[in-house]
Each structure stands twice: as structure tokens, then as C-alpha cells.
Amino acid sequence: MAETGEVDWCDPCERAKALKMAYFERLSGGSSIRVRFRAGDNEQEYQSAHAGMSLAELKRAWWEAEDECRALQGLPPLRRRFAVRAGSRRC
């Protein structure tokens, strides 16, 4: 990620880092965070406190970008859901 806070939107790894940062900033209720995305000539600015994006939507976008980044590295997507089978117990 660039030092100025600009994120290359076409790079899923940079996008995942920026979205993760925005998610945790919004979750903590801190001051608004501004992230600028640039894809070619198109430039967009995202401000977490005023964008109206829910935490679930922000997390989903972060996880999608993270999975795309892992795919570029030849890694499988992360498992984020776990099931407990019937009859299992904690020790």
C-alpha cells in the first residue's frame, strides 16, 4: 500500500489490507477513516463513517479481496465457517 493512503483497487492484496483496516476502524467506533482507491483513470474515495456500508458488507468485501489475493498466490481460500457435528463434545 502506498504511503499516501492510496490503494490500487485492481490489486486484491492491497484492497484487502485497506478494507480490513476500515473494518476494524469502524468496529472500534473511532474517527472516520478515508481510503482512496484508484483503478486506471477512475478514482474513488471511501469514508467509512459516512458511507453507510454495514459491517457485514464491509467484512464480505474484505474477505472476497482476501480470497482473491490468496488465489493469486496459489493458495486456497480460507475456511471461515466451522460446523459442530451431532454427538461431538468438548473435553
Q: What is the DSSP letter of 36?
A: E
Q: Can you tell me the distance from the alpha carbon of 66 to that of 62, in angstroms, rounded to the nearest whole number?
A: 6
Report pTM: 0.62
Domain ranges for the chain: 6-72
Best mean pLDDT range from 3-7, 29-33, 40-44, 50-54: 40-44
Nearest Cα residue to 58 out of 27, 14, 13, 12: 27
20 pLDDT higher than 50? yes
Q: Give backbone dihedrals phi and psi of 58, rounded to 5 degrees, phi first.
A: -65, -45
Q: How far apart are CA 51 and CA 45, in angstroms?
A: 10
Q: Which of 9, 24, 25, 26 has the alpha carbon at shortest distance from 64? A: 9
Phi-psi group of 74: left, alpha or beta (phi > 0 → left; psi -120 to 50 → alpha; rest → beta): left
What's the pLDDT score for residue 22? Answer: 84
Task: Give the pLDDT mean for 4-12.
Answer: 78
